[in-house]
Amino acid sequence: MLTEVQVRELLGTLEDPFLHRSLTETNGITSVTIKEEKKHVSVKLAIAKTNTPEQMQLQMKVVDVLKEGGAGSVGIRFEELPPEALAQFRGTANESEAQDLLSPLNKVEFISIASGKGGVGKSTVSVNLAIALARLGKKVGLIDADIYGFSVPDMMGIDKSPVVRGQTIIPVERFGVKVISMGFFVEDNMPVVWRGPMLGKVLDQFFRDVEWGDLDYLLLDLPPGTGDVALDIHQMLPASKEIVITTPHPTAAFVAARAGAMALQTDHEVLGVIENMSWFESKETGKKEYLFGQGGGPKLAEELQTPLLGQIPLGQPDWNEEDFAPSVYLENHPTGKIYEDIAQQVLKQFADKK
């Protein structure tokens, strides 16, 4: 297993993407933690500018280098170099990088939506949460990165593909959300054998080549599960905060806990838990039936020491024929209101952390 000295040696030659000096020169490796029994290496790196496509690329390099060196899993947290350190090197960044520093994605907050297994409603929640944030006046983007089925376009009733202008991809806008799905680029939704690193490259392209404009929040609908692909992706994600989706059954919560643990292991803060398919409410009697059991959401939230952001009942949204969007709840639908409440809690959490 790697030692701290070896980790510092391996990473020391990688460059700060903006300053073009090695991380050794910039004193950019701020901490290294090694959990030998789990072969887990956790590093904190300081670079000139965080939450950028460049950070994403560096992140991928760090994961590659450490895994080649023998690490089983890698957690990376980025922070910005202090102004004094930056001032010392600033002269070395050239004009085009100065442009990059102003790139609109610099200010965006990433929120990834994860689940322990498929079918729990991760895509449904991603779509409705993105729309709820947009309804609250935020500028929102959504990346459908669920390689096991690109369901977001269908769920939102999107029937057109994004316009591609040269190198630039213009996302499709629907309900005030800018959407990009891998499904847009896969012919007839053909199944593809995706490997984590490949998905990482496509994600990187989505960060770089999509004309997102000025965004406040970029949501990522992640592939479900806690296997290799999910782990690879977690390691490549930008400094995103994570929301974990579960159904109310205690065993489902147990599986979802592994997704939460993976987030924490890869240094992603968990914003909260959303329990989906919580109950079915009879229209006649108003009585709630707990078809999938009870207690999974609160239990998971307690285990991950994070808030339970909300519970979504079973049911179908009402939509009209001409504006067909099978999974989108309207603003005044009771479930639409629950999503609004969740979106408000999410905004509050970001505001509190600033």
Ligand X SMILES: Nc1ncnc2c1ncn2[C@@H]1O[C@H](COP(=O)(O)OP(=O)(O)OP(=O)(O)O)[C@@H](O)[C@H]1O
Q: Report the binding-site residues.
A: 116-123
Count of helices and strands (H, E) across the chain = 11, 15
**Cα 141 versus chain centre, distance:** 11
Residue 217 DSSP class: E
Q: Which stretch binds ligand X (CB under 6 A): 1-9, 111-119, 255-263, 303-311?
A: 111-119
Residues 6+ apart with CB under 8 A from 203: 56, 143, 145, 220, 233, 236
The answer to the question of residue 120 lying near ligand X (CB under 6 A) is yes
In sequence order, what E strands does 171-216 have?
Answer: 172-174, 177-181
Contact 141, 215 (CB under 8 A): yes
Q: Cα separation of 51 and 237, whole Å?
A: 10
Residues 206-225 that bind ligand X (CB under 6 A): 224
Integer Cα distance of 334 and 312 in angstroms: 10
Q: Shortest gap between Cβ of 221 and ligand X (angstroms)?
A: 7
Decide: is 115 part of the binding site for ligand X (CB under 6 A). yes
Q: Which residues of 69-89 are buried (b: 16+ CB within 10 A; e: fewer)?
A: bebebbbbbbeebeeebbeeb
Residues 6+ away with beta carbon under 8 Å from 336: 128, 132, 317, 329, 330
Determine phi and psi for 140, rounding to 5 degrees.
-125, 140
Angle, vertex CA 12, rays to CA 3 and CA 39, nearest 5: 30
CA 240, CA 229: separation in Å to the nearest integer? 17
> Would you count residue 143 as binding ligand X (CB under 6 A)?
no
How far apart are the C-alpha atoms of 170 and 152, rounded to whole Å? Answer: 17
**Angle at CA of residue 99, ends 94 and 101, nearest 5°:** 95
**Does residue 149 bind ligand X (CB under 6 A)?**
yes
Q: How far is the CB of 228 from ligand X (least distance, A)?
A: 16
Per-residue binder mask for ligand X (CB under 6 A), 293-332, x = binder: -------------------x-xx-----------x-----
Between 162 and 201, how does the x/- string for binding to ligand X read (CB under 6 A)? ----------------------------------------
Of 148, 161, 195, 302, which one interacts with ligand X (CB under 6 A)?
148
Q: How far is the CB of 4 from ligand X (least distance, A)?
A: 38
CB of 320 to ligand X, least distance (A): 18
Q: Quote the least distance from Cβ 241 to ligand X, whole Å.
A: 19
- What residue numbers does the annotated binding site for ATP cover? 116-123
DSSP H or E run through 64: helix 53-68
Find the shortest distance in angstroms from Cβ 122 to ligand X: 3
- Using the minimum distance from each CB to ligand X, give the nearer residue, 21 or 333: 333
CB of 257 to ligand X, least distance (A): 16
Residue 119 identity: G
Which of residues 199, 277, 328, 342 is near ligand X by CB under 6 A?
A: 277
Asked if 231 and 262 count as a contact pair (C-beta separation under 8 A), the reply is: yes
* Interface with ligand X, residue 119, by CB under 6 A: yes
User: For ligand X, which is the closer residue by CB, 134 or 328?
Assistant: 328
Q: Which residue is nearest to ligand X (CB)?
A: 118
In the complex, the smallest distance separating the C-beta of residue 216 from ligand X, rounded to whole angstroms, is 23
C-beta closer to ligand X: residue 122 or 139: 122
Phi first, then psi: give them for residue 218, nearest 5 degrees.
Answer: -120, 115
Q: Which of 235, 276, 306, 311 binds ligand X (CB under 6 A)?
A: 276
Binding span for ligand X by CB under 6 A among 118-126, 166-174, 209-217, 263-271: 118-126
Interaction between residue 157 and ligand X (CB under 6 A): no
Applying CB under 6 A, the residues found at the interface with ligand X are: 115, 118-124, 146, 148-149, 151, 224, 276-277, 312, 314-315, 327
